[in-house]
Chains A and B, each alone.
Chain A
Amino acid sequence: MKTLNIVGKSLRRADALEKATGTATFSTDLNLPGMLYAKTLRSPHAHARIIEIDTTEAEKLLGVKAVATWKNTPRLLFNTSATMTFTLPNQEPVLDQYIFDNVVRYVGDEVAAVAAISERVAEAALKLIKVEYELLPAVFDPLEAMEESAPDIHPCHAGKNIPGEIIKIPMGDVEKGFAESDIIYENRFTLPIQKHVQLETQAAVAQVSPDGNITVWSTTQTPHPSRIILAAAFGVSQSKVRVLNPPYIGGGFGVRIGLSAKAEPIAVTLAKLTGKPVKVVYSREEDFIASDTRHAGYVWVKLGAKRDGTFQAIELKGVLNGGAYCSFSCETPGVMGAMGLSVYRIPNVSYYGHSVYTNITPAGAMRGFGNPQGMFAIEQAVDEIAAQLGLDPLELRKQNIIRVGDPWILPYSCRSTGLEECISKAAEELNWQRRGTMNEPGSKILRGIGIGVGTHVSNSWPFCVDYDNAYITVLQDGSIMVATGVPEMGTGTITTLPQLAAETIGIPLDQVGITFGDTLTTPFDIGSHASRTLYAAGTAVVAAANDVRRQILEYAGDLLKTAPEHLEFANGLIKKQGLRDSECVGSGVCQLNEVQNFITMKDLAYHAHLRNKQFIGIGRTTPPNAPPWHAHVTEVEVDTETGMVTVIKVAAAHDVGKAINPLIVEGQIEGGVLMGVGYSISEEIKRDAKGKPLHTSIHKYLLPTAADAPEIKAIIVETNDPTGPFGAKGVGECGMVPTPAAIANAVYDATGIRFTELPLTPERVLKKLQEKNKNII
């Protein structure tokens, strides 16, 4: 294998200096001349029709420049999520949103927006808008929303309030598989609403030129799909719309795959009405109540095994709470089933899943995308089988996990897996043998260890359209510009993609510039999500870099009178094979046409320039997909008198293919783990009886602080996936996937109680402990 100079190294992030000095620009920092500020009036009701809306008093307020409602904005159906732009041709994208509608479908739904000279004036104007509502019946639980008596939230063809299609994934014969099983475990699991709480709230600044060209700076994770959505929502051609990040995004985690909730269309609407740039920044409360959440819902699992532990059949069913509008509510249940059924080698599998419209905040994409919900159920079922058969949960997993080339339900192959190594390394980190011997009899404070494993995707195919493009332009001094449509939302894109380009071409990293996250300057790409950015955009960048490298070697071959395959190209130097670097002194370019042995990239590029030539590489790829694998082992402590669960440590071993930048990979794992810990023990949005959300601030919504975070040990396991750039696979979402199950299994180990509902709040845990004690007495 070729020695790597740049790939595989923990190099400092390209955006580190800007971010460490406070000079990095985010959407919320933008300030354009003449810019107005917008605020949005939101529905206090879960479901209502707007009978009358009177904005005259608001419009009269000094400093107010425009008020937008359903009456004066385009009535073109769209969908804020990027699913509108990349739903596969065999399905219909669900279009169920207007910028403003005369029906509101959740507490927080948009009613009107005001543009004014300051946020304070805009807020004052909101109070002057008079709205008369006719209340409609509302429903909040997905199972209730499927009942005949429930209100129809949107027209649906697959079933009562079921958006899009019902996902069914069959393989083998599950009835036969269960009949042949010696042991079967089945149960229903309940999942809460989790919120992303990315640090930068949804935000956009829009500017409309006199000739109608629209420019939007925003927090979107997907500039190109966002352009498509905005063009459709405003009925203009895509060529009239530019969407870009400014250039940084304060986190994403899936909350803005597509539009940043409605920040972009509200900003554009008001920019069109006023002729001025308009800035929309969601308050934290708005971000909580009116921007996508994780899908809550129910997951049923039934797992059958032979006495020796061999899995025979699995049946998985998911009914997810999609909320009031369909944001990835078709794809999320699909990924839950497809991933959940692809971890173990089981001959008979079946999945049935869908979302359901309800009158709550829309649920959409969030790190893990249905997979943590499914694995919470599956991994606890696996532990139950182990317990009932008296087998070590580690060994049972190793016995059943998918191996390279195994048949599975996915339309791409498993070409790499390091899962067994992940299981061993995570278990070793936490000293797994202690399991079962950690507690003194009668102790009120109990410790336990648990495991959860899983897989995920490295891009969106085959769940939606997923192709990628990149350009690489060689500049006249031999440095290069990479152009890629993906954004930088913290995941290291603008560091790792240049690493790939520099390594592939053979030039130093400091010779690589990058333009990204801008529809004007980059080719189409579906954005940063699905753990795909490094894998999919990386594949395109590598293809473009190989294209450049080929062109350069051909040119150099002519110049050095050597066949390209007999040239070496590394560290910015092209030379004949076997020549030592120390022999390559001077520029290498000979004005007298003497045959040379070497040439620097710098001289070659300029040499070409003087002869009317520039090297431009194009990468156009439809990357397949590849499974990352992960095993988490956690240690927990349970206070049996208060029900308090404390996570002590999480060892997270991840097969990431090749770690292009290990420091960045570790960061992705660690962040995902802590988000999973929060999901497991404290994070939850509850509502009152009228559907009003109760957890609407960081103070109320209990995501972990630095004082709460357990020790997290990220362990990188490298395999080499032949489809990924330098063997790399996805990692961004994976830290989230097995964490809830690993924690629930550890709590089971500590207490002997199986918890089927998240989060494991002290109250929920104490209740079950009390029930258990009652049964003993």
Chain B
Amino acid sequence: MNLTTLQFVLNGEETAIVVDTSDMLVDVLRERMLLTGTKKGCGKGECGACTVIMNGAAVNSCMIPALKAMGSVVETIEGIGTLEKLHPLQESFMDEGAIQCGFCTPGMIMSAKALLDSQPHPDGKQIREAIAGNICRCTGYVKIKKAILSASEKLKG
């Protein structure tokens, strides 16, 4: 064990937590901070279920040593909307039927959010590229792609 205090901005709040040097960000979020919205589907950066946004970019939190997040701004599914004001992506995922088992959903929404944050009006190719690292086995991606498009249109209007 080799403990260090990780300081970062998590979902808009200055946060400090003591971590082991070799802890991965996903485990700190899920096991230590009990933010279990971020899922762990492979632990190797191959499924995207653990996607969070770090300094504006979608990343696999299972591949990020927790200390790499030192000084960073991290967003998770828990931080992107409130029950009173959901993020448009959360609304569109619900309305378009883009959610089935729900295990890929948080990571998928985070990848989509990172896309819309930098490119509010993406085309189909940009959407596919943005979520190609998020495996979904339930939906065939049809309604997920539609939901992202629909959220981007909502952001237009």
What is A's interface to B at a CB cutoff of 8 Å? 10, 12-13, 15-26, 28-29, 31, 196-201, 248-253, 283-284, 489-492, 663-664, 666-667, 670-675, 697-699, 703, 705-707, 709, 712, 714, 735
Q: Is the C-beta of B97 less than 8 angstroms from some C-beta in chain A?
A: yes
11 further contact pairs, Cβ within 8 A, besides A199-B136, A664-B97: A13-B94, A16-B93, A19-B99, A21-B81, A199-B41, A250-B39, A490-B100, A667-B138, A670-B140, A674-B140, A699-B46
Given A16-B94, A698-B46, A706-B128, check contact A489 B101 (CB 8 Å): yes
Contact among B35, B44, B139 for A699, CB-based, below 8 A: B44
Q: Complex Cα distance A12/B92, Å? A: 11
- B44, B91, B104, B138: the one within 8 Å of A284 (CB): B44
Partner of B102 from the list A19, A196, A675, A712 (CB cut-off 8 Å) is A19
Contact B93 A20 (CB under 8 A): yes
Chain A nearest CB, measured from B24 CB (Å): 11
Q: Measured between alpha carbons, how far is A709 from B86 in the docked complex, in Å?
A: 29
B77 within 8 A of A: yes
Are A21 and B101 interface neighbours, CB within 8 A? no
Q: Is B74 an interface residue (CB 8 A)?
A: no
User: Are the C-beta atoms of B135 and A698 separated by less than 8 Å?
Assistant: yes
The answer on a CB contact under 8 Å between B103 and A26 is: yes
Most buried by A among B30, B77, B81, B105: B105
A671 to B135 alpha-carbon distance, docked (Å): 12
A705 touches B132 (CB 8 A): yes
Given known pairs A20-B93, A674-B141, A706-B145, the reply for A26 and B39 (CB within 8 Å) is yes
Q: What separation, in Å, do the CA atoms of A95 and B25 have in the docked complex? A: 43
Contacts of A703 in B (CB 8 A): 135, 137
B152 at the interface (CB under 8 A from A): no
Q: Is the CB of A20 within 8 A of B141?
A: no
**Complex Cα–Cα for A529 and B44 (A):** 30
- Contact indicator B145/A20 (Cβ below 8 Å): no
- A20 and B104 CA atoms in complex are apart in Å by 10
Q: Are A12 and B95 in contact (CB under 8 A)?
A: yes
Chain B residues with CB under 8 A of A712: 140, 142
**Contact present for A251 and B135 (CB under 8 Å):** no
Pair count A-B, CB < 8 A: 167
The answer to whether A248 touches B97 (Cβ under 8 A) is no
- B93 vs chain A, min Cβ distance (A): 5
B42–A706 CB distance below 8 A: no
CB–CB A284/B137 < 8 A: no
Q: Is B78 an interface residue (CB 8 A)?
A: yes
For residue A533, give the distance in angstroms from its CB to the closest CB of chain B: 13
Q: Label chain B's interface by main secondary structure.
A: loop
Asked if A21 and B77 make an inter-chain contact with CB atoms under 8 angstroms apart, the answer reads yes
Look across to chain A and name the residue whose beta carbon is closest to the beta carbon of B147. A20
Q: List 15 A-B contacts (CB under 8 A).
A: A13-B94, A16-B94, A21-B78, A22-B37, A197-B137, A199-B41, A251-B100, A251-B103, A253-B137, A490-B101, A664-B97, A667-B100, A670-B140, A673-B140, A706-B134
For the complex, what is the distance from the CA of A444 to the CA of B113, rounded to whole Å? 40
* Given A666-B97, A670-B143, A199 contacting B104 (CB threshold 8 A): yes
Q: Say if the beta carbon of B144 comes within 8 Å of chain A.
A: yes
| Chain A residues with CB under 8 A of B99 | 13, 15-16, 19-20
Distance from A739 Cβ to chain B, minimum over Cβ atoms (Å): 11
For window 8-62 of B, CB contacts with A under 8 Å fall at: 30-31, 34-44, 46-47, 49
Decide yes or no: A199 and B49 within 8 Å by CB, A671-B137, A671-B140, A675-B137 being known contacts.
yes
The answer to whether A199 touches B137, judged by C-beta atoms less than 8 angstroms apart, is yes
Q: Is the CB of B145 within 8 A of A199?
A: no
* Chain B positions within 8 Å of A25 at CB level: 36
Interchain CB contact (< 8 A) of A28 among B40, B47, B91, B106:
B40
Q: Whole-angstrom distance from the CB of A538 to the nearest CB of chain B?
A: 18
- B103-142, CB < 8 A from A: 103-106, 109, 127-129, 131-142
A252 to B102, CA, bound (A): 12
Most A CB within 10 A of own CB, among B42, B102, B133, B139: B102
Chain B residues contacting A16 (CB-CB under 8 Å) are: 93-94, 99
Residues of the A chain whose Cβ atoms lie less than 8 Å from the Cβ of B40: 28
A284 touching B47, Cβ below 8 Å: yes
**Across-interface contacts of B91 in A (CB, < 8 A):** 20
User: For A12, what are the chain B residues with a Cβ–Cβ distance below 8 Å?
Assistant: 94-95
Contact status A21-B41, CB under 8 Å: no
Nearest B residue to A199, CB-CB: B103
Which residues of B are found within 8 Å of A198, using beta-carbon distances? 101, 103, 137
Please judge, given known A-B contacts A21-B90, A284-B44, A698-B47, whether A706 and B131 are in contact too, CB under 8 Å.
Answer: yes
Asked if B94 contacts A284 (CB within 8 A), the reply is no
B142: nearest chain-A partner, CB-CB: A670
Given contacts A490-B101, A667-B143, contact A697 B46 (CB under 8 A): yes
Known: A21-B77, A200-B101. A705 touches B135 (CB 8 A): yes
10 shortest A-B CB distances, which residue pairs?
Answer: A22-B37, A490-B101, A250-B103, A19-B102, A22-B77, A674-B140, A670-B140, A490-B100, A199-B103, A16-B94
Cβ–Cβ contact B37 & A23, under 8 A:
yes
Q: How far is the CB of A346 from chain B (nearest CB, A)?
A: 33
Q: How far is the CA of A196 from the CA of B103 in the complex (A)?
A: 14
Report B-chain residues with C-beta under 8 Å of the C-beta of A197: 135, 137
Chain B residues closer than 8 Å to A670, beta-carbon distance:
139-140, 142-143
Q: Contact check, A21 vs B86: say whether CB atoms are below 8 A apart.
A: yes
